[in-house]
Amino acid sequence: MKDLEALVGGRVEDTSCDDRVRLRLGAVSGGEGSGVVAELVLETEFRLRDVDGEYHEMCPGTGSALAPVLDLFGQSVTRVDMGADGSFIVDFDAGSLLWVGADAEFGVHHAPSA
């Protein structure tokens, strides 16, 4: 999906965890790119692979159980993809991966236009 490709190169500049998990992405200064600033808002369960390759089942609203999300701070997006089944996948440069399964009630909204 071309619109999602605009997120590639975005760096996680801020994280927020409450009843939603938010990742604020900013463009790396000095480099080429779209200058995109985006916010990923996760309102449903998701899976996170950390830099050590360990998978964590994450659920917004679970407090300190969301601590692995904090390790995304400073990482840059290397790939964004929508699976054929509607899943949403984000790869990061340090080896982390975010995977959100398809859900009829939730989806990708407000993707930036190229």
pLDDT digits (tens, 9 = 90+) for 27-38: 765 555 555 688
List CB contacts of 18: < 8 A, sequence separation 6 or more: 60, 61
Mean pLDDT of 39-57: 95
pLDDT digits (tens, 9 = 90+) for 87-108: 999 999 999 999 999 876 655 5
Q: Which residues are bridge partners to 15 per DSSP?
A: 23
Q: What is the mean pLDDT of the chain?
A: 86
- How far does the chain reach from its first CA to its final CA, in angstroms? 11
Higher pLDDT, 7 or 1: 7
* pTM score of the predicted model: 0.82
Q: How far apart are CA 111 and CA 33, in angstroms?
A: 16
- In 5-66, the DSSP E strands lie at 10-17, 21-27, 38-42, 46-49, 55-58
